[in-house]
A and B are shown apart, each in its own frame.
Chain A
């Protein structure tokens, strides 16, 4: 089933064009690895998919049909920064989500906190950057949804914890669950992705990760490394 299919155009101000008619198609049950240079539009694309950001349709003979085959509340969207009040402890933030979000699986979240050995009584401001990322990741995964949009989950996270996060994603991957994961750490995630979404020159390359490997005899990461800068 197609969740989203459109040709998008997006600019922030006249000089700053992000997408110039890029084809984006998201199919349910697949995991997409979203990558590209800094400022290429990864977060913008995630915000568009989360229905938090508008864009211009770029298709001729457009039918006025809805492009999103899901409601915004069916999405679990991890923004790159954790949102919290300065006075909150870890447990306060988790209680906040449990009370306000009926999709929030408190048991799952609690198990994950134990797994990552995060102190529930610690103030969030006192956590390290890596731990804050993990808290953010747990909050995103604990929401029972069909579509997960994850923005830069792993900077500052140690290798062992990245492995645990990847394992949590594999445990959740199914024919009903879709992931779009934006990251610069391509090598850490490429083996769990079905497709790549490579933002390049205001366009998006959307193809099977294995097809790219077959065609180039190289990993996704080394394809990206060898690509000449724009």
Chain B
């Protein structure tokens, strides 16, 4: 991932890690990259990564085992619930936009399924 300097770096990295967890790219229960390694890889300040890890811990997506490192939560139901919430939020945003364009539910459905309406 490349950092986009036009958006808050903190929110970008938090969003990236959240997506990685709920999509299963970061496997539940596994150890996550150390703060410094991730900082070097993305070329960002370790303080920023540290704050992101703290936020994800508060959201219970990460848990810390002190000096043993930081781990992705093992609670698969919780991750599934988060994925559902995230997908619903995105779907709502999408639906609102489409309704503003005055599209019918059929049009929207066709768009999502990739069916050509012309």
Residues of chain A having any CB pair with chain B under 8 Å? 29-31, 163, 166-167, 170-171, 173-175, 187, 190-194, 209-211, 213-214, 217-222
- A30 CA / B50 CA spacing, docked (Å): 13
Contact of B6 among A166, A194, A213 (CB under 8 A): A213
> Quick one: closest B residue to A223, CB to CB?
B6
B47 touches A167 (CB 8 A): no
Residues in B lying within 8 Å of A, measured CB to CB: 3, 5-11, 36, 39-40, 42-48
Residues of B within 8 A of A190 (CB): 5
Q: In the bound complex, do residue B5 and residue A167 qualify as a contact, i.e. CB atoms below 8 Å apart?
A: no
Question: Which chain B positions have C-beta within 8 A of A220?
Answer: 5
Name the residue on A nearest B44 (C-beta). Answer: A191
CB contact under 8 A between A170 and B10, given known A220-B5, A221-B5? no
B40 in complex: contacting residue of A171, A174, A221, CB < 8 Å = A171
Does the CB pair B6–A219 fall under 8 Å?
yes
Of the candidates A192, A214, A222, the one whose C-beta lies within 8 Å of that of B44 is: A192
Flag if A191 contacts B45 (CB, 8 Å).
yes
In the assembly, what is the distance between CA of A190 and CA of B7, in Å? 12
B43 touches A218 (CB 8 A): no
- Chain B nearest CB, measured from A81 CB (Å): 28
User: Chain A's nearest CB lies how many Å from the CB of B6?
Assistant: 5
A173–B36 CA distance with the chains assembled, in angstroms: 9
Chain A contacts for B8, CB-based, 8 A: 210-211, 213-214
Given contacts A218-B6, A219-B6, A220-B5, 14 further A-B contacts (CB under 8 A): A31-B45, A167-B40, A170-B43, A170-B45, A173-B45, A187-B5, A190-B5, A192-B44, A193-B45, A210-B9, A210-B48, A213-B8, A217-B6, A222-B6
10 contacts between A and B (CB under 8 A): A31-B45, A166-B43, A167-B43, A170-B39, A170-B43, A170-B44, A191-B44, A194-B48, A213-B5, A214-B11
Name B47's contact: one of A187, A194, A213, A217 (CB within 8 Å).
A194
> Of B8, B9, B10, B45, which is in contact with the most chain A CB atoms at under 10 Å from its CB?
B45
Contact A191 B5 (CB under 8 A): yes
Q: Are A194 and B45 in contact (CB under 8 A)?
A: yes
Residues of A near B3 (CB, < 8 A) are 191
- Cα A229 to Cα B82 with chains together (Å): 48
